[in-house]
Chains A and B, each alone.
Chain A
């Protein structure tokens, strides 16, 4: 009995110490493998996700010297019912403007909307004579500023509205009493941001490392309702905050409260009340830690220290307009329509050139070539070509096509260069596809009396189309992604290519230039997004094709 028990114990399948260690090693190793796989996947999602998100939505923070919001009606103190509306043509993509921009537009400093709304449209100023002109000048222009020379003066609000509606880049002003006439017209009023926040100078100066750079609208609100009591709470020096406000019935006070405060909030009782800009300026100068608000022009006039206010602008980055608009001003303004078209041209020409040659080569290698020396060399050539770095192709293309053959930098040189680069991809895929056409197909065709060429063109190649197309699509992907070689051979002119010899900028080159020159990161993201979307589409298409091929041969 004892012996039997012993043998049972031996085969207990209990983990021996060594097996335990082996199991442990295995678990940790497998965990490491999962982590590695996770890193790879995570990297892709990070890259694609980051670029796509910032490509579609631009979220930037800009600092202004005025509050982030304003009001549509510009009024002067003492002329409460004679408010002015600034109107622009509806084509202008803006909702608000700062008073500085209004001044620059009406005075002729800015003659193109590009700097403000990023649209390449010329500014057309429409003004009025009469009392409204005085009010406008008082509220908007500082001292010596004049209307621009090209300003067209109208006689009535209705005329201004009509002119602005009919002119793409039109801007004008009307009295608020005529607001109803805007309905149904092609003009719209803009919010004008003209209130600035001024502080005592000390706060802005560097003192023991604590220096205030800017405030946000939220912070300003909280200061004035009393939530913050000391500048150190905002990253500034250790000084108590002393807010100053205008009296409750003043226009500016009302505008300030309307813009910043919610209905149930009130300005802190401790705030000092001032009656004039002069008083405010003196209060700010004399009291450490003081803060107040005034119209921007007044702040300038009374030499108050205006603090920067950060505004966050979230808006669509890559949208239909971007794709359909032309780039202007070195790509700073506008979209990328011409560049997309140039890229399409390149794709088309490349396919025209590389497609037939690649497929023909593949046909030769699979259908006609015998197993001899020459054909081994041919094959060797294709494989080697695939390993050449793209910059060398660029050099080669540059020297041969641009210089030696004197075709110059342009579509043609670029296309020729790219053709050689992607040829191996096409040949390889076409070869695979043709090889996998069942031999029986060829035999039946020949048995029916067809010639070799007829068999190839009517039976074999058509059967291999999905595979060939996969190769072509992949090759296009490579071509679209290629930058260095194209920079030298196809050029960087972002206008639409006029003919085969025109220098033409394509998407990848555009992205590079935008980044290298620091022209516009928002546009760079949008361009990068388009490139990524192209890659995703290519991936999708080839997967579908491969799926179809698998089913066909299933």
Chain B
């Protein structure tokens, strides 16, 4: 009897350790990144790092470690992705939840699932072989620019936006829809005036989640955004995002350069984590409301 109790206790503790792995990893990652990245500020001021666009890490005489160009690039590319992806995604979600029949809804959902599973390198490849030449033809230049990156990212965040929005829309109580229709509102009026507002917290969470994915995406943008470490000027500018600068230089960077990459990843990390926290807050609020 006692032996069994000991055994069970040991088992529980072992399982507990396994459960701890996640939180430990997060803590570790945070510590490592901050520890490796913060020392940069002994050499470079925070202002220069965040607000200068002079990125010359390998210049021995006068190195520059300003990542403003990358920050702006990440922002532009993400906004572009949202501008294209949110309308299409939200509309698709509404269609799924309110318009589609049983069969076509299942089919559509499979399509969305497959889109979600395609690796980012394949998206980047697709952008390179099919869309870049078209972009080149229409707008000149190399074809690898903010526009192409935004389009590809938009496609990549569609599944996130669609599936979460659809869930939110479907979880609006059916009685509200019935009440609205019984009052003589049309289906569309019901969607716009009752359903969407009721699902708003979920939809916003979906969009923010999509934003997080877009900001954190590496491979696809690495392949299609052009990789010029300069401030973007137009939609056809070639750019380098935060993720690209980390991934691109990691292989060969040394010394302060490498430290700067870690500091860059701190910026990325903080931003993405902030988005996740916002999502938490919104979804908790939404749930309480219901």
Contact = CB atoms under 8 A, between A and B. Distances in A.
Interface of A: 22-23, 25-26, 29-30, 32-37, 39-41, 43-44, 46-48, 50-51, 54, 356-358, 360-361, 363-365, 368-369, 377-378, 380-385, 387-396, 398-400, 420, 423-424, 427, 451-453, 477, 480-484, 487-488, 508, 511-512, 515-516, 521, 524-525, 528, 531-532, 535-536, 538-539, 543
Interface string B200-219: 00000000000010011111
A500 to B, nearest CB: 20
Nearest to B107: A41
Contacts of A391: 216, 218, 243, 246-247, 265, 268
B119 to A, nearest CB: 3
Interface in B138-165: 155, 158, 162
A36 B223 contact: no
- Of A50, A399, A488, most buried by chain B (CB within 10 Å of CB) is A399
A511 B128 CA distance: 12
Nearest to B279: A387
B64 to A, nearest CB: 22
Q: B16, B158, B262 — which one has the most chain A CB atoms within 10 A of its CB?
A: B16
B110 to A, nearest CB: 7
Interface in B172-186: 186
Given A26-B186, A33-B94, A37-B92, A482 B272 contact: no
A170 to B, nearest CB: 38
Contacts of A35: 91
Given A54-B129, A389-B272, 10 more contacts: A29-B191, A37-B99, A48-B114, A357-B21, A368-B15, A378-B19, A381-B20, A480-B119, A484-B218, A511-B125
Interface stretch (B28-36, B43-51, B229-237): B28-36
Nearest to A404: B32
B175 to A, nearest CB: 21
Contacts of B20: 378, 381
A497 B265 CA distance: 31
A389 B216 contact: yes
Contact of A389 (B18, B91, B243): B243
A539 B118 CA distance: 10
A389 B172 CA distance: 31
B70 to A, nearest CB: 13
18 contacts: A25-B188, A48-B114, A361-B21, A365-B19, A378-B19, A378-B22, A381-B22, A390-B216, A391-B216, A395-B261, A396-B28, A396-B32, A399-B32, A423-B25, A424-B22, A487-B247, A535-B114, A536-B114
B273 interface: yes
B130 A50 contact: yes
Contacts of A48: 114, 118
B15 A532 contact: no
A22 B189 contact: yes
B16 to A, nearest CB: 6
Closest 6 CB pairs of A and B: A381-B23, A389-B216, A481-B119, A36-B91, A360-B18, A364-B15
Interface of B: 4, 7-8, 11-12, 14-16, 18-26, 28-29, 32-33, 36, 87-89, 91-92, 94-96, 99-100, 108, 110-115, 117-126, 128-130, 155, 158, 162, 186-189, 191, 212, 215-219, 222-223, 243, 246-247, 250-251, 261-262, 265, 268-269, 272-273, 275-276
B8 A483 contact: no
A385 B25 contact: yes
A44 B88 CA distance: 14
A524 B21 CA distance: 37
Contact of B119 (A398, A482, A525, A539): A482
A453 B186 contact: no
Contact of A395 (B158, B188, B223, B262): B262
A384 B99 contact: no
Contacts of B247: 391, 394, 484, 487
| Residues of B contacting A: mostly | helix
A423 B21 contact: yes
Contacts of A389: 215-218, 243, 268-269, 272
A33 B95 contact: yes
B119 A388 contact: no
Given A40-B88, A50-B130, A34 B95 contact: yes
Contacts of A29: 188, 191
A357 B15 CA distance: 8
B268 A392 contact: yes
A289 B112 CA distance: 58
A483 B119 contact: yes
Contacts of B23: 377-378, 380-382
B36 A364 contact: no
Contacts, number: 242
A536 to B, nearest CB: 7
A34 B99 contact: yes
A29 B129 CA distance: 34
A95 B287 CA distance: 68
B265 to A, nearest CB: 6
Contacts of A394: 247, 250
A33 to B, nearest CB: 4
Contacts of B111: 40-41, 44
Contacts of A484: 218-219, 222, 243, 247
B26 A481 contact: no
Nearest to A488: B250
B128 A515 contact: yes
B158 A388 contact: no
Contacts of A30: 99, 187-188
B117 A539 contact: yes
A44 B123 CA distance: 11
B188 A535 contact: no
Nearest to B242: A391
A396 B31 CA distance: 10
A50 B126 CA distance: 8
A51 B125 contact: yes
B216 A512 contact: no
Given A388-B272, A399-B32, A481-B119, A51 B126 contact: yes
A185 B74 CA distance: 63
A26 B188 contact: yes
Nearest to B191: A29
A483 B219 contact: yes
A395 B96 contact: no
A538 B117 contact: yes
Given A384-B276, A396-B28, A47 B118 contact: yes
B114 A515 contact: no
B117 A387 contact: no
B230 to A, nearest CB: 21
Contacts of B126: 47, 50-51, 528
Contacts of B18: 356-358, 360-361, 364
A253 B52 CA distance: 72
Contacts of A383: 276
Contacts of A41: 108, 111
B30 to A, nearest CB: 10
A531 B99 CA distance: 33
Given A360-B14, A400-B32, A535-B118, A528 B25 contact: no
A508 B121 contact: yes
Nearest to B275: A387
A396 B219 contact: no
B113 to A, nearest CB: 6
Contacts of A22: 186, 188-189
